[in-house]
Amino acid sequence: MGNPQPKNLDNLRHSCAHLLAKAVLELYPGAHNAIGPSIEHGFYQDFDFGDTKISEDDLPKIEEKMREILPSWTHFEFNEVTLEEAKKLFKHNPYKIELAIEFAGEGKKLTTNNPGNFLDLCKMGHVENPSKEMQHFKLTKVAGAYWRGDEKNKMLTRIYGTVWTTQQELDTYLQQQEEAKKRDHRKLGQELDLFSTNMLTGQGLILWHPKLAVARNVVEQYWRDEHYKRGYQLVFTPHIASMDMFVKSRHLSKYINSMFPVMLHQYIEGESAPDYQVDEVLKPMNCPNHIQIFKARPRSYRELPLRIGELGTVYRYERAGVLHGMTRVRGFTQDDSHIFCTPDQVIGEVRSVLQLMKDVYALFGFQDYQAYISTRPKKYLGSLEMWDFAEESLKKAASAEKFEYKIDEGEGVFYGPKIDIKVKDSLGREWQLGTVQFDFNQPDKAESTEDDIDEFWQLKTFKMKFKTRENLAKYLKQIGRGFNVTYIDNDGKEKQCVMIHRVVFGSMERFFGILIEHYGGAFPLWMAPIQAVVIPISQDQNEYAEKVLGELRTAGLRAENWNEAESMQNRIRKAEHEKVPFMLVVGKKEAAEGTVAVRARGNKNEGVVKVEEFVKRCLEKMAARG
């Protein structure tokens, strides 16, 4: 789901992508432009430069050419063409011909546009007066991108840019981007020794270094405390699971390209094999195992709602080209919970989740957030009645909790509608964190259909495993679909549960990547890896510094004694660089009086206080998580 933006801004950015294409084709004869959509905060255009290599050093030259061309672009002219006409008009551009054939095959109209001296194949959606409206632009970076996002296709060159309606908006955005570069969690992760990745461990797998591990442990304990307080039962589940479970849940056919390859189970000699061979996979989600815990014994309506939670690690394949530090990974720990309830408990449960989200986001300084309710897609499971009930429940719960929400029509997943919560960080950037999701698939029980068999038979893994469609059909009939998640109601009858998925952080990896940038690496006191460092002015005060350190640690503060043989000022600068909340300088006077000279992060001198007074202040701030 993209972030909605005003249509005129979308048109402005799309139009500027055309201007970029024109400038590049003039500067680099023989290059081909592919696609150039509007995106959040800007646009991009993909090019095939042939053997020519360009870099960000070339962007000023391209910008200059764009400004040279712009005055001649007074308006766009549009014309509908046939496929044969399109092939002739763009005979030198294989990318445009491929798109034209595809669009025509889908029954779409083929439209060209021309601002005066540049014919392109494109749908409608442009500004009325380009020369006046498109003046405030900037090209930002160069990257590689596979044609149509497919690694089997040719690698193209993608040029990114941004454009705004006023120079002030452009300047503000560029300043924000400069600050974002300074706060990049990958940069700060290295500078502050927080995390790393390497090829031996594996791409997209995060190594949490001791400092960040401390912060994670503190946040996870807060998460556990809040969930116990709100009636959740926390569990652990394995990292691998039978492939059959994900066939039964239908995750495997939908998400097989995101799952790591099947591991075939080898039977010990003499061991009797089951009717069908069991294979195992790294789990891509936790929900089917939570269902198994629910179903471990019969459940009464008196036990509902039952809230099962887990900080569960899952594994999903992401292409190497989209991996990005901690925010796009292959192994991650979800703060995953599943609520099993009756229909009349639904609104109350969704409200409770939204209340939790509000409290959690406020704690981390995310005061500005927006809800997006995704409704029924074209292909879906469950009845219309179930979808209408669930969508209405989400709207009522969001309204009751005073969440402003927007509707994303048709963007729900096949098994149910959802609410996504996006928050704005300290730089005003929007991030998706929490999700509340209905599930009409897994709690159900159904026979495998011909459509199911067709869907699985298209998968190479299943053709190799079962050899024939008949074998696959037999297997799917035995497996069935759904887990039949039920409870005994007060009338003694078995009834199907309503199942709600939810996360608050999303994943610990991504959440901490966001937090590092949100705080600029300067974690608040309660979660800071090192909360205070004692800095003796000279080695003569080291004995007293050790005494202070002991008092701090006894009180539960994470502290260190920095008594290295270097100047006090160097040690203070080091503490500032590492973004330690407090520096406690001790000299002869402090040692004699049992005090510390307190210097807060950001070169703030807070004066001289007794050690016990400093400890008291810190404990109060930590208790309030300030």
- Left if phi > 0, otherwise alpha if psi is -120 to 50, otherwise beta: which for 5? beta
Which of 338, 502, 510, 518 does the annotation list as catalytic?
338
**Quick check: helix, strand or coil at residue 564?**
coil
CA atoms within a 13 Å half-sphere pointing along the CA-CB vector of 471: 10
Residue of 418, 510, 518, 579 marked catalytic: 418
3-class SS of residue 408: strand
Measured CA to CA, the distance from residue 370 to residue 215 in angstroms comes to 27
Residue 239 annotated to the active site = no
What is the C-alpha separation between 436 and 351, in angstroms, rounded?
10
* 3-state SS track over 149-185: HCCCCCEEEEEEEEEECCHHHHHHHHHHHHHHHHHCH
Choice among 22, 216, 290, 501 that is catalytic: 501
Q: Catalytic site residue 334?
A: yes
Catalytic residue among 46, 120, 335, 336: 336
């520096």: which residue's tokens? 583
The active-site residue out of 48, 96, 250, 334 is 334
Query: Shortest CA distance to 50 belongs to which of 152, 155, 151, 147?
Result: 155
Indicate if the alpha-carbon torsion angle 5, 8, 13, 15 is positive or negative: positive
Which of 577, 626, 625, 569 lies closest to 601 in space, CA to CA?
577
> What type of residue sits at position 320?
A
Query: Would you call 367 a catalytic residue per the annotation?
Result: no
Q: Is 141 a catalytic residue?
A: no
**What's the angle, vertex CA 98, arms to CA 96 and CA 101, rounded to 5?**
105
Q: Give first-to-last CA distance, the chain, whole Å.
A: 34
Q: Which of 16, 122, 287, 341 is catalytic?
A: 287
The reply to whether 287 belongs to the active site is: yes
CA torsion, ordered 160, 161, 162, 163, to nearest 10 deg: -140
What residues pair up with 430 in beta bridges, in sequence order? 424
Q: Is 48 helix (H, G, I), strand (E, B) or coil?
A: strand
User: Does the annotation count 185 as an active-site position?
Assistant: no
* Residue of 316, 481, 510, 571 marked active site: 316
Q: Are 118 and 15 contacting, i.e. CB atoms less than 8 angstroms apart?
A: no
Q: Is residue 115 within 8 Å of 73, Cβ to Cβ?
A: yes
Token pair belonging to 184: 């990049």
As annotated, the active-site residues are 287, 316, 334, 336, 338, 418, 501
